[in-house]
A = this chain, B = another copy of it.
Amino acid sequence: MRLLSYLTLSSGLFCSAIQAASYSVNSPDGAIKFTISDSQSQPQYNVSFNNKPLLNTSKLGFEFKHAAPMKENLEISASATSSYQQTWQQPWGEARLVTDHHNELAVTFKDKDSKDTAFTLRVRVFNDGLGFRYEVNQSNALYITKELTEFNFADSHNSTAWWIPARGWNRYEYTYNTTPLQQAAHVHTPFTLKNADGVHVSVHEAALLDYAAMTLNQRRPGTFVADLTPWSDGIRVKTNGKFKTPWRTLQIGDEAIDLLNSHLILNLNEPNKLGDVSWVEPGKYLGIWWGMHIGKNTWGSGEKHGATTEQTKAYLSFAAEHGFDGVLVEGWNIGWDGDWFYNGDVFSFTQAYPDFDMKAISEHSKQVGARLIGHHETSGNVSNYRKQMHDAFELYQNSGVRQVKTGYVADGGNIKRIDERGHPRYEWHDGQFMVNEYLDNVKLAAKYQISINTHEPIKDTGLRRTYPNWLSREGARGQEFNAWGTPPNPPEHTPMLAFTRMLAGPMDFTPGIFDMSFNGLGDKTNRPQTTLAKQLALYVVLYSPIQMAADLPENYLAKPDAFQFIKDVPTDWETSIALAGEVGDYVVFARQERKRGQYTGNDWYLGAITDEHARSIDIKLDFLESNKKYEAHIYQDGEQAEWKHNPYDISINKRIVSAKDKLTLKLATSGGTAIRFKAI
């Protein structure tokens, strides 16, 4: 039985508001209210939205290894408020200009029986959500064994949640579960949920620096407690006593798309620390990559070796001819022939296979005008990579490489490092050690004017603002699962990603598979569970400043009409608007092209995708400039299209439209619509 706990729980809560200092701060529009209190000498907070409780009393605090916990016998000793409004510019992004408008409250807690300050809680409340962080400033080292932050959802009886499990073998690469909120157990963030009244919330964190990732553990019905990913020795976070936690964030909206139109995570990160980043180049690329996943090529040497001089040159020529910026080449370096998954020591990051002539390839790339994109697969052996990192980046820089895809393929908790005493230690991808390791890699790359696209990464928390050469990352199930995944990504996967993983930041999903009939290495049924038109729409829906055309060149040449959209679609945007959508069901984005060096581009693009259900969606074109006419190049599912038996049926047509027009998008099962609005 269970019921009684609810009743007494709530009565319990009502009591506990008596005789306490409490301070509140509202969002600029007044809809969100955050209250901090020291009721019962425990630091705690609650949140309301539109005058309804969103989070009931939720505890705050820490436990440490060799120091007294910060959770009891505390009182508020100081508080300060301020307001802030500013618009800042991104070097690249889903929007050029971002407005940061928030009210801030900082509250300091001290021990009741002494002058000792515990921590300051700093809260920033925006119209689209809020973030709070702890600031601790002690003279002695503090090893965190527990962060006590709670998220106690007031409507948890009636909420629906979308989640993937935390601390599992496969990092973030799971299909999403849709369950009643109280059925979720231990989950990753972004953690998205919907209340009975339609209010949508996503819990995540911003500016994850020198700290462990926060996962969420539902320890009481509706109450999720922070569960920091531990070091291999069990400690959660090791600090010198002076630290700021990442911002614990809540994106809040009346409807699902409000989460997509929020810039909260970016606004809670520090400005660009790299100065001039004109060398950071968004763009589109091809790759010697999909061939390996479908068994046509191999990473390792031999007859089917993919990374040959000849094939790389051919790809570079094809890329340049069709307006792509680069070509990713995997399996170019020595180490792929052995049992590399369990022994990352085998990888060299400077020695190419004999049949891969870096010099000749680099010259060819200059001639044709498409860049080689580098690849560093560590298989999670970071010590081996660290030793070679300088030389590896130097080699690539000298070869004209501006972008490197890094890989950390290892099961969760199996990142191998050699500790101070020379012993191997096994860490999590999202523990404090790797949080720092990933960033060190990005910082070092910047010295060589190289941008990083991290696979098997730490989740994104908006650090691209501070380090704009951290271009993109993986961190969810990508296209390759459609080659061999068990199961392949279901039709709902991409409309699910839009409201979950994508709230964290750009994802290198690698869309654009045109040939759905390949025999994967996996089950023969493996293939993208989408229509062709949906593959096109993904370029607009799933934002990344770098987008791959993932399929083989011959498959694009076989469908030149559809390929045209991939050639046209940009990867850098003046502005982006989520127009419609429901979590895991469907989503529609409109984005305006950004022309580098100009204050605005001309063309608009639209992408719409749906899950296993066909649907038609009415869209007003009032996002277009009112004084302009546009030639709409429409790529939509054909009359007979449906993902299972007729994925290729696509209708491509052009018509003249203006901001006054409406469009009815007809999406097939797991279908999509992609539109270029060409200003004329």
Contacts and interface: CB of A to CB of B under 8 A. Distances in A.
A461 B168 CA distance: 26
Given A2-B409, A180-B486, A221 B8 contact: no
Size category of the binding interface on chain A: 35 or more
A177 interface: yes
A175 interface: yes
Contacts of A409: 1-2, 4-5
Chain B CB within 10 Å, residue with most, of A4, A8, A9, A158: A4
Contacts of A175: 179-180, 183
B169 A219 contact: yes
A158 B480 contact: no
Contacts of A2: 170, 173, 409, 480-481, 484-485
The secondary structure that dominates the A interface is loop
A8 B340 contact: yes
Interface in A516-535: 521-523
A2 B171 CA distance: 11
A233 to B, nearest CB: 13
Contact of A299 (B4, B167, B182, B299): B4
A339 interface: yes
Nearest to A168: B185
Contacts of A340: 4, 8
A186 interface: yes
A560 interface: no
Contacts of A169: 182, 218-221, 223
A155 to B, nearest CB: 10
B412 A9 contact: no
A484 B7 CA distance: 11
Nearest to A225: B169
Contacts of A480: 1-3
Interface in A224-243: none
A411 interface: yes
A302 interface: no
A9 B12 CA distance: 52
Contact of A339 (B12, B293, B339): B12
Interface string A208-224: 00000000001111010
Interface string A157-172: 1100000011111100
Contacts of A174: 183, 185
A88 B2 CA distance: 38
Contacts of A167: 185-186
A290 to B, nearest CB: 11
A562 to B, nearest CB: 26
Contact of A219 (B5, B412, B455, B478): B412
Contact of A411 (B183, B220, B407, B483): B220
A411 B169 CA distance: 27
A3 to B, nearest CB: 5
B157 A221 contact: no
Nearest to A520: B3
A11 interface: yes
Contacts of A156: 486
A487 interface: yes
Interface string A357-370: 00000000000000
A483 B3 contact: yes
A448 interface: no
B186 A165 contact: yes
A220 B169 CA distance: 5
A342 interface: yes
Interface string A1-22: 1111110110110000000000
A505 interface: no
Nearest to A175: B183
Interface string A527-555: 00000000000000000000000000000
Contacts of A186: 165, 167-168, 185-186
Given A1-B407, A165-B185, A183-B175, A342 B486 contact: no
A341 interface: yes
B157 A486 contact: yes
Nearest to A412: B219
Interface in A322-356: 339-342
A413 interface: yes
A220 B481 CA distance: 17
Contacts of A483: 3
A348 to B, nearest CB: 17
Contacts of A3: 293, 480, 483-484, 521-522
List of 4 A-B pairs having minimum Cβ-Cβ separation, nearest first:
A165-B185, A168-B185, A8-B341, A157-B486
23 contacts: A1-B455, A1-B474, A1-B478, A2-B480, A2-B485, A3-B522, A4-B340, A4-B409, A5-B411, A8-B340, A8-B341, A9-B341, A11-B339, A12-B339, A156-B486, A157-B522, A166-B185, A167-B186, A170-B182, A170-B221, A177-B177, A180-B487, A219-B412
